[in-house]
Structure formats: structure tokens, C-alpha cells
Amino acid sequence: MSTHTHHHDNDFLFKYIFSTDHKMIAKQFLLTGTVMGFIGMMMSLFFRIQLGWPGESVPLLETFLGDWAPGGVLAPDKYLALVTIHGTIMVFFLLTAGLSGTFSNLLIPLQIGARDMASGFMNMLSYWFFFLSSVIMLISLFVEGGPASGGWTIYPPLSALPEAIPGSGMGMTLWIASMAVFIVSSLLGSLNYIVTILNLRTKGMSMTRMPLTIWAFFVTAILGVLSFPVLLGAVLLLLFDRSFGTSFYLSDIFIAGKALEVEGGSPILFEHLFWFLGHPEVYIILLPALGITSEVVATNSRKPIFGYRAMIGSILAIGFISVLVWGHHMFVTGMSPFLGAVFTFTTLLVAIPSAVKVFNYLTTLWKGNIKFTPAMLFAIGLVSTFITGGLTGIILGDSALDINVHDTYFVVGHFHIVMGLSGTFGMICGVYHWFPKMFGRMLDKRLGFVHFWLTITSAYGVFFPMHFLGLAGVPRRYYSNTAFPLFENLIDINVTISVFALIGGVAQFIFLYNMIYSIFKGPKAPKNPWLSNTLEWTTPVEHIHGNWPGEIPEVHRWPYDYSKPGSEEDYIPQTVPLGPDEKDEGH
């Protein structure tokens, strides 16, 4: 903390806009992420209308989408545009920047006992690069030819050639520009998180006294630093192929009536580079969600998280294995069968630390004393989605089985449950739990209960039936199934999915309403509303620069001393010194 930033304390511009305070930046990330999340969700509702009632005229679509849906019927290439931008927004803007950006920023300094991030300025830049990339992505919706439409995985040559699909023109260029800026944002953020966690822990906060949230953010940041630059390289080479006549990814192509002068490149190279980020990305989303829920489950079970060290071990193991499994996205690309075997092996290994985590969650609940705050409900929901979605991963990770379910709706169901739902539940869980810390006010619990039950019911209503579509052989990214007699009778599955999607979509507005209402009108938060042990609840409710008015508190114990025998209260904050005969469980 440099002293001169204090001059700007009362200046609106520097307090709310160009803030270097991690708490304000966290709120900025949350706000932007939420806006992007709702845009991404609305897109999915639009294309679900097409999938549930293919070809029927729905005037509302024309109202929202204009000439993308002439006469109320979504155009096929614009369907792909919606699918592509939905995926991009959800994966990167909501569940990477929205999730990590919000909670890493908010919690790292507060939970390790630091006055701010190692570099407040870099942190501010990280947010503004993210904001810029969001703006570029949204602008790309309005350019000629529409936004990128080749799927969020933007495989060339489809993404490289405007002749192949209109969205591969200006829209794709903006997609690449947006992602390049996004990656800069992500790197600035991640480096800051790593340095802060390693260097700025308060006295007594050893690595094995850190809350699991911090461990999760730490490993996530490392994964981000290792893998995002590879994506940057991949998309820059794609940019060269598109604009400067190179052929890294292109070879022997005949399109729009002529053969192109490209030779020697391989689209498979792009797939390798893309998934070298793409798979760790899954864990960049999942680990923070798991970290957040570990904290929430322990607090609300009034019980230590079971197997703290095993939980750290499994976070590290998952992080390590996650960079060795990218090839399981490519079993049917014609990649060497030997490589396929290696990737099957490494992929199925991920199930071991994942199983450890699940059983540790279950044991934490066992003989707990569970308070069902809305955050706790979403944490329980996450355990359920993590199991449901994780188990089908055992099928998809098996190369022999993947042959027949690859790229079908089975995959869509799998990753939406294990990554989409778990990530979203983790994020929502975090918002309910740390809303008082962010805004100094409380969310309404009743709306929270309604929100949870509607969300989990509709979520399974949307994604579980997709497994059946997949096992019936329906490929993903199909504008409609009506072209095939084979898929004719599947329409009732699609209607079911779409109805649940619409219910789930509406339910999210309850959450949005709750957030907006509570930011301004919610009851004032007490200092430690959930009676939690971690350091963030020792800071004043009103945000101040530097987090603690006086000295930074010293830490004397691990964060999970809930219901410890011998203590009157059922929680002992980390700042309370150990008793004479007391043992610190984290060490």
C-alpha cells in the first residue's frame, strides 16, 4: 500500500471506477460477471426455444434478436452464433473472471490477513482489461456477419475462413482480440494472487493454516498462469492464418469454388494448443467453486472440514493431473491410438482425488449441526452436481466409450452438470455467503430458498435428459433434429429441457432482484453473521482501505475449529490463541 492512494479516498472516480482496493475490484468483477452471465443465460434461452419448438414462429425472438430471427424463427447460422457466444461468455466471462475475479480478489487479502493485493495497480489493470474484453465481445455481436459462430472451441479452418461461416469474418477477429485482452487480464490477476498468497500472509498464517478457499485460488492461479499463455499463442497463430496468409492450421482446402494456397498446416495442432488451456480451464472454474463450498460447508455444518490435508492434497493432485489430460478431447481426431491410451489413463486418474473430495464433504456433513443458509443449500447442490456430472466423466474419459458419445448431447449434459452447474453453484454460494462482506448488507433468505430449489430442480430438468439425447446419438450444436427421421420422436425430450430451461432462467431473476434490492435496501450486516472462524469476519463492516483499522491480527490456529470440545462457543476464530493443552489440528 502506497500512501498517496489515500488522497483519492473521497474522490468518486478513484473510489468506484479506478479503484485499487481489492474489495472494490471484487465488486466490479462481480457486477461485470453477473451482467455477462445474464446475457449468456438469455442466449441459451433463445436457442432453447428453437430446439424445443423448431421452426415455430416466436415473435419474442424477433423482438430481442431482430434480423437474427426473421419472422420469429432463429436463423441456422445465428443459432450457432448464439451457441458460440453463450459458451464463451459462460466459460470465460462468468465462471473464470466472474468467479475467480470476484472471490480471489475479495478473499485472498481478507483471509490471509493482508492490507491489499501485492500490487493494487496491477489488480486494477486486471479488472479494466477484463472490462475491455467484455465490451469487445459484446461489440462483436453487432458487426457484419455476426459474432464468432464456430463453437466456443473455435476450431480452424471453420474459424479461419469467412467463406465457411459468416461469423468467421469481423466477428471472429473481435473474438480473438477480446480473448487476447482477457488473457492479459487473467495473467495480471493470477500473478497477483500467487505473489500475494506467498508473500503477504499475516503472522502465524502458515500455508497449512490457510482456509481451503485460498488453497483453491492459489492452485487455480498457477493453472491459469501455465495454461492461458498457450491459448494466447494459439489464437495469435490463428490471427496470422486469418489475416497474414500463414498456414499454421490450414492445408489442402477447397472452399467457395477454389482451392486455397495453404499448405502444410494442421488443424489438429490448434486443437492441442486449445485444449492445453481448455482442460485446465475446467479446473480453473471448478477449484474455486470447490474451495468456496469447502469453507461454507464447514462453517454451516459447525464442524471442521473433514481431512483438511487430504483436501489440500486433492486440490494439488487435481491441479497437477489437469494439465496432463487435454488429449481426451481429441480421441476421435485421428490422433495416435497410443496417445489416446495415455490420455485415457491420466484422465481416469482425476477421479481419485475427486472421489476423495466428495467423501470428505459427506463426512463433514456427518454428525454436523447443519444450518441451512442459502449459501449452504447451494454448497450441498454443488456436491450433488459434482457427483452426478463427475461420474459420467468416467465414461467420456474412456477412449473406447468416447467414440460413440463424443460431441453428442451426452457431453453437453456431462460438462454442464460437472462444470457449468458446479461452477455456478459455487459462485452463487459465494455470493450468498460473502454478500455481507462485500456490500455490508444481508440478502433475503426466503428468496434465497426459493431461488435454490427452483434452480436445482430446473438445472437437473435441463441437463439430465441430455444424457438420453446423447445415448440416442444426437450430435451437439444441431440447429434442429427434424432433418433426421432417426431423431423424430426425441422432440418431447427437447420440449422438457426447454421448459425447465425457461423456469430456471426466470428463477435467476429472483436472485438478481434479491441482489439489487439488498445492495440498497437490505438489512445492515453484523460483523460476523455466520459465526465463522476466518479472518475476513474480523474486519469492520464498512470497507476501509487496508482492511483492518489497527494492526493486522495474528493467527494462532487453523480455520476449522468448529464445535471444538472444551470451548463454550461452537466456533473459535483464528485470532484466538491456543489454550495451554490445545493442539492445532492444521499442523
Question: Which residues face 537 on adjacent strands?
Answer: none
Footprint of other proteins on residues 363-382 (CB under 8 A)? Answer: 363, 365-373, 377, 380
Q: How many residues does the chain have?
A: 587
Q: Which is nearer to other proteins, 12 or 338 (CB)?
A: 338
Q: Which is nearer to other proteins, 98 or 586 (CB)?
A: 586
Using alpha carbons only, give the angle 224, 225, 229 rounded to the nearest 5 degrees. Answer: 95
Q: Which residue is associated with the grid cell 419474442? A: 60
Binding of other proteins at residue 59 (CB under 8 A)? yes
Footprint of other proteins on residues 563-582 (CB under 8 A)? Answer: 563-565, 570
DSSP 96: I
Q: Which is nearer to other proteins, 228 or 270 (CB)?
A: 270
DSSP 99: I
Q: Which is nearer to other proteins, 185 or 344 (CB)?
A: 344
Window of 7-15, 32-40, 330-338, 533-541 that interacts with other proteins by CB under 8 A: 330-338
| Residue from the set 171, 189, 265, 426 that interacts with other proteins by CB under 8 A | 265
Q: Which contiguous run of DSSP H or E holds residue 254?
A: strand 254-255
Binding of other proteins at residue 477 (CB under 8 A)? yes
Question: Which residues face 147 on adjacent strands?
Answer: 171
Give pairs for 538-541: CB < 8 Å, separation 24+: 538/573, 538/575, 539/110, 539/437, 541/436, 541/440
Contact track, other proteins, 276-315, x by CB under 8 A: -------------------------xxxx-xxxxx-----
Binding of other proteins at residue 348 (CB under 8 A)? yes
Contact track, other proteins, 234-263, x by CB under 8 A: ----------------xxxxxx---x----
Count the alpha carbons within 13 Å of 147 in the hemisphere toward its beta carbon: 28
Nine-digit cell string for 532 = 465463522
Binding of other proteins at residue 522 (CB under 8 A)? yes
| Residue from the set 198, 243, 484, 578 that interacts with other proteins by CB under 8 A | 484
Contact track, other proteins, 148-177, x by CB under 8 A: --xx---xxxx--x--xx------------
Binding of other proteins at residue 473 (CB under 8 A)? yes
Cα(335)–Cα(347) distance, integer angstroms: 16
Binding of other proteins at residue 430 (CB under 8 A)? no
Least distance to other proteins, CB of residue 102, Å? 20
Q: Which is nearer to other proteins, 191 or 269 (CB)?
A: 269
Q: Tell which residue, 177, 189, 254, 201, has the closest CA to residue 225.
A: 189
Binding of other proteins at residue 135 (CB under 8 A)? no
Cα(410)–Cα(468) distance, integer angstroms: 7
User: CA dist 573 to 349, 534, 555, Å?
Assistant: 37, 6, 9
Binding of other proteins at residue 490 (CB under 8 A)? yes
Binding of other proteins at residue 556 (CB under 8 A)? no
| Residue from the set 472, 499, 541, 576 that interacts with other proteins by CB under 8 A | 472
| Residue from the set 464, 519, 548, 576 that interacts with other proteins by CB under 8 A | 464
Window of 177-185, 212-220, 469-477, 532-540 that interacts with other proteins by CB under 8 A: 469-477
Q: Tell which residue, 34, 127, 165, 51, has the closest CA to residue 431.
A: 34
Q: Tell which residue, 373, 540, 299, 530, has the closest CA to residue 440.
A: 540
Binding of other proteins at residue 206 (CB under 8 A)? no
Binding of other proteins at residue 119 (CB under 8 A)? no
Least distance to other proteins, CB of residue 301, Å? 6
Binding of other proteins at residue 520 (CB under 8 A)? no
Count the alpha carbons within 13 Å of 419 in the hemisphere toward its beta carbon: 22
Binding of other proteins at residue 339 (CB under 8 A)? no
Window of 2-10, 174-182, 206-214, 399-407 that interacts with other proteins by CB under 8 A: 399-407
Q: Residue 432: how many CB atoms within 10 A of its CB?
A: 26
Cα(472)–Cα(197) distance, integer angstroms: 48
Q: With contact defined as beta carbons under 8 Å apart, do 480 and 56 qualify?
A: no
- Binding residue count for other proteins, defined by CB under 8 A: 132
